[in-house]
Amino acid sequence: MSFGYGVGDVIAVLGLFERIAIELRNYKDAPLQFQQLRAELDLLRGTLKRVLSLKPEGDAECETLEQIRAIAIYCVQPLQSVADKMRSKESSLGHFRTTRSLVSIGTRLHWSMIDQTDVEGLRKVLLSQMTAINTLLSIQQPRMLLDIRGQMKRMIRAIKAIPLHLTLDIVQLDDVHGESWALPLQACRTCESFREILLFVVYANKRPGANYITQNLSAVTQAKTGKGVDQETWEAMIKPGFHIEQAVILKGSHSSKRCLNPKCAGMLQDEVLEFEDRQVCNLCSRSSKTAFTTTPLIGLCNEAPYSHHPVERFTSRTNTKGSFGPQLPPISMDEQIGTFLRGKLLQPAEPIQDIEQAYRRLGEDPNHAMANAYVGLAMLLAIGETRSVDQIDIARNHLEVAVESDSSTPENWYLLSRASAIYQESRCPSFWITLGILYFNIGQSRDCLDALTKAVELNAHIWEPWYNLGVLYDSCNGQHSDAADAFYKCLERNPELCNVRARLEAQQAYAGDINDEFLGDTLIHEGRLTTG
C-alpha cells in the first residue's frame, strides 16, 4: 500500500499480542500486575481482530478502519520493548515449568528483568488505545444509524412502488380509510364493474363505508390533480397505473374550519390542486371538499293528515301549498365519520323563497335550473284549478330547461315527467290511476288520493280507481269506513272480484267492532294497486 498501513504490519502487531499473552498465561502464580496485563492484552487483541475483520462499505468506514490500524501500529514499540527485555536473559520465553535443575533456573529470572514500571507503562498505552478505539466506534454508530435510516426510506419507497411495477396492470385506489388497494385493471374497465369491486372486495363484510357505496354516496378523483372521475369519463380516463382517491359524500352543513372528525381538535387548511381546492386537517390529515347542491322544492315522501271524505280532502289544498317551497335537509353525520379520511360535503345552495324571486333569477339567467324548476312546479300546482293546456305547456318548457341545465337532480325529472304526461293526455283515467300508483309507492298518499279522485271524476263506471281508493284508505290512518265504501262500489262494477269481497267483509267486520283475532283471519293487508 502506498499510503496508510499495510495488512502485514497489523498482523505482526497481533502476533506480538499473541506471543506475550501466551507467556503470561503460562506464568503460574504471576503477580497482580502481570495478571491485569494479560487480561488487557487479551481484550485489546480480541477487539482488534474483530474490528479489523470487518469489510468497510463506505468512505467513512474505510477512514475509521485506517485509524484503528494506526492505533494497532502504535502499540508495536511498547510491546516490542517488553518482549526484548523478556528475551535479554533467555533466548526463548518461558518459566520454570519442566525441570528442577540449577541449569534451568535462568529461565525464571527473565521475568525479574521486567520492572513494574514497564508493566504499568504498557498498561497505560493499551488502555489509551482502547479508549481511542471506543471513541472511534461510538462516532461510527450515529453514521451507521443514519445510513440505516436512509436504507429504510429507500425500502419503504420500493415497497410502495411494488404495486406499480407488477406485471399485471392495476388501478391504485386509496379508499376512504386511507388504505391503498391494487385493483386489477381488467376488472375496472367500466364504472359498474369498479363499483362491484368496491362492494364485494374493498368494503366487504359490512366494512365501515359500505352503506355509502350502496347508496351511491361516494366520489372518485384523480389523486395528483383532483380531477373528478364519473360514469361518463371513467372509460376514457382509466389506464394502467391510474391512481385514484375515494371520498364519502356527506349531505348537510358542516363547519368550514373544523376537522370532519368530531373528536379531532385540528383546524382545516386550504390545499390547491390542479382541478379542485380542498381543505386538510393540520393534525390528522383528513381532507374535505365542499360542493353546493340544489335545494329540494318539495318533499317527495311527505305525509299529511287526511280527511275521511274525499271531497273534504280534495278541497283542503292549503296544506299542499304550505309544503311547497324550499326544504333545507337536516344535518346528516354518520356515526362512523371519525374513520373516514376524505369527505365531500354537499350543502344546499341559497333557496328561492317565492315566485317573484324565481322570475328575477330567470331575468338574470334564463337557464337557471332551480328557478325554472320552481316556476314549473308552481304552474303544476295550479293546474287542478285552471286546467289550462297552455299553462301545462309552459310548465313543461320550464322543467325541460331545468333538466338540461342540471340533469343530476332527480326532482327535475320527476316534475318533467308529470307535466309531460298531463300535457299528452290530461283526461285519461288510466293515466291518473298509474300516477296514483306511483305516488302510493313513493309514500305520497296525499297526491295518490288526488290522482285517484281525478280518475273517478273522469270515469266513475270503471272498477279500478275504486279498488285502489279502498287500498289507499285501508293503509292510511285506519279509514275503514271509507275503505269499505270504496270496495263496495268496486264490487258494484265488477262482482266477480273475490279478493275485493273478502276485503269488504273484513272492513265491515272491523266497523262492527269485531275483535282483532277475527280481523287477523279475514283482513287482507297486502293488496296491490292495479291499473286494470
Query: CATH code at 473?
Result: 1.25.40.10
What is the predicted pLDDT for the residue at 280?
A: 87
At residue 52, the pLDDT reads 63
> Which long-range contacts link 200-205 to residues 24+ away (Cβ below 8 Å)?
202/173, 202/175, 203/175
For residue 253, give the C-alpha cell: 352543513
The total of other beta-carbon atoms located within 10 Å of residue 102's CB is 7
Q: Are strands 218-222 and 228-229 parallel, antiparallel or unpaired?
A: antiparallel
The confidence score (pLDDT) of residue 249 equals: 82
**Dihedral of alpha carbons 197, 198, 202, 205, sign:** negative
Q: Are 133 and 277 found together in one domain? A: no
Bridge partners (DSSP) listed for residue 244: 173, 222
Residues 356 and 434 in one domain: no
At which of 380, 395, 427 does a domain end? Answer: 427
Q: Are residues 379 and 451 in the same domain?
A: no
What is the rounded CA–CA span in Å between residue 337 and residue 347? 17
The pLDDT of residue 9: 58
Number of domains in the chain: 4
pLDDT in tens, the chain (532 residues): 334 445 555 566 666 666 666 666 666 666 666 666 667 777 666 666 666 666 666 666 677 667 666 666 666 666 666 666 665 544 444 444 444 444 444 444 455 556 666 666 766 776 676 777 667 666 666 666 667 777 888 888 877 776 666 567 889 999 988 889 989 888 888 988 998 999 899 998 888 888 888 888 888 998 888 888 888 889 888 888 899 998 888 776 666 677 877 788 888 888 888 888 888 888 888 887 877 666 666 544 333 333 333 333 333 333 333 344 444 343 344 446 667 888 877 776 777 778 888 888 889 888 888 888 888 877 776 665 455 667 777 888 888 888 887 776 777 777 777 667 666 666 778 778 877 887 787 677 888 888 888 888 888 888 888 998 888 888 876 677 888 888 888 988 888 888 888 888 887 777 665 444 433 333 333 334 454 4
Residues 362 and 439 in one domain: no
Residue 59 CA to residue 187 CA, distance in Å, equals: 51
Residue 61, domain CATH: 1.20.5
Give CA separation, 242 vs 34, 169, 223, 254, in Å: 75, 9, 9, 31
The answer as to whether 255 is a domain residue is: yes
Considering the domain boundaries, does residue 346 fall inside one? no
CATH code of 413's domain: 1.25.40
**Is 28 inside any structural domain?**
yes
pLDDT recorded at residue 173: 92
Q: Is residue 43 part of a domain?
A: yes
Domain that holds residue 481: 429-525
